[in-house]
Every structure is written in C-alpha cells, then in structure tokens.
A and B are shown apart, each in its own frame.
Chain A
Amino acid sequence: DAGITQSPRHKVTETGTPVTLRCHQTENHRYMYWYRQDPGHGLRLIHYSYGVKDTDKGEVSDGYSVSRSKTEDFLLTLESATSSQTSVYFCAIRLDTGITEAFFGQGTRLTVV
C-alpha cells in the first residue's frame, strides 16, 4: 500500500471552522497529491507537492491551502469550511523510482454541516 496514512479517516465539522487533513508516507517520495472525490465528478486534483516547501495548485484549489514542511507529511487545510467541501479526500504519492502511477491512501470522509 506504499505506506500512506491519512488522518482523520472521518470528520464532521461546522461551516466556517478550519480543518486540517494529514497525509503521511513512510518512504519519503517527492511527489504527493491531494484529490477530492465527488459523485459524478470522479477525482479532481486540489494541490500537489514535488518536494519540501514546493507546492502547486490543481484544478479545484479555491478554498484550500497546503503545506509540506517535511518530506513525509503533506497537510491540506480548509481555511473556513463550507458545505460544498463535503467530500472524500484522497492523498496519493508517486514513487521516485520512475514508476509513473500514483498510489492512494484510504481516504478521509469530511462532512461540513
């Protein structure tokens, strides 16, 4: 499973509150990604990182920020959660060995009420 851990696995939060989701990998690969999955939309890229402090925006980055202060951790923050951010969030990594596919974590189900 490429050693990816997402926390928390489930969270319910209120509109307007900040929320941080964590993705941890055990093998220190450079590339990490955050996706959200919504019915009828598949998975859409929020942000990605290609190294410590190196991040960039994806397709649906509005309302989200990320940080990567250590190779093994990639944090996704919803500064002020809205109901439209209710979703399942997946972290993924790409191995540094030249393999092109991504490996996914188990997901975090976030509900904003």
Chain B
Amino acid sequence: AQSVTQLDSQVPVFEEAPVELRCNYSSSVSVYLFWYVQYPNQGLQLLLKYLSGSTLVESINGFEAEFNKSQTSFHLRKPSVHISDTAEYFCAVSERGSQGNLIFGKGTKLSVKP
C-alpha cells in the first residue's frame, strides 16, 4: 500500500533563510508526486507536481522539489523564505493509471518569523 511520510510536523525559520520540507513515500508502482499548500482557513492549492521527465520541478513563487527515485523522496526547498510563505504544506502521491486518489502526508507547518 502507498504511504507518505513528512518527517517534520513543524518547521520554524527566519525570514530570508533557506528551508527544506522533507517527504518520503512508499509505493510498489510508478507514482505521480505533488506538493500542496494550505493557508489558514483555506482549501489546498497545488504548489508543484512531478509527473515524468526532469526530476527537478519548480513553482512560480520560488519553491522547487526534486524527485529521487532511489531514495523515494520528493523534498521541497526554497532558498529564501518570506513571511507570506507561512502555511501548512502537504506532500501527496497517486499511482499512475489509478482513479487519481491522492494519498497525503500528515503535513508540515512552516512558520516564517521576522
């Protein structure tokens, strides 16, 4: 069965510092990988996704994630965070060819301090 592990439940950082949010998954088949972001009292928004091809994917607001098949990881990074990046981040996986059901990690709360 698929599962997603987000190793840190909370990550506090100072503004302009780099950050890495870790995500590992387990699956016996090929998968698609996603990072979603949730701002307070809102729904989830797609941040970035890996479907195939280049293992490094980027978002429009400076986040990037790298798919590492051998380590079954999809860590999210940003070289310099802003106060506005404060949110909860969820890693998710779905099997290729499936009904599109997403399996989520438990989330990581990123808190950016001035």
Residues of A with Cβ closer than 8 Å to B?
Answer: 31, 33, 35, 40-45, 48, 50, 56, 58, 90, 92, 94, 100-107
Contacts and interface: CB of A to CB of B under 8 A. Distances in A.
Given A100-B51, A107-B43, A33 B107 contact: no
Given A101-B49, A104-B43, A105-B43, A42 B90 contact: yes
Interface string B29-52: 000101010000011111001010
Contacts, number: 55
Given A100-B32, A100-B51, A100-B94, A58 B107 contact: no
Contact of B104 (A31, A42, A94): A42
A94 B100 contact: yes
A58 B101 contact: yes
B106 A42 contact: yes
B114 to A, nearest CB: 26
A1 B44 CA distance: 10
A100 B101 contact: no
A108 to B, nearest CB: 11
B6 to A, nearest CB: 8
A45 B102 contact: yes
Interface string B83-114: 00000001010100001111111110000000
B36 to A, nearest CB: 8
26 contacts: A31-B100, A33-B101, A40-B9, A41-B106, A42-B90, A42-B105, A42-B107, A43-B92, A43-B104, A45-B102, A45-B103, A48-B101, A50-B99, A56-B99, A58-B101, A94-B100, A100-B32, A100-B51, A100-B94, A100-B100, A101-B32, A101-B46, A103-B46, A104-B36, A106-B42, A106-B43
A41 B94 CA distance: 17
A41 B35 CA distance: 16
Nearest to A93: B100
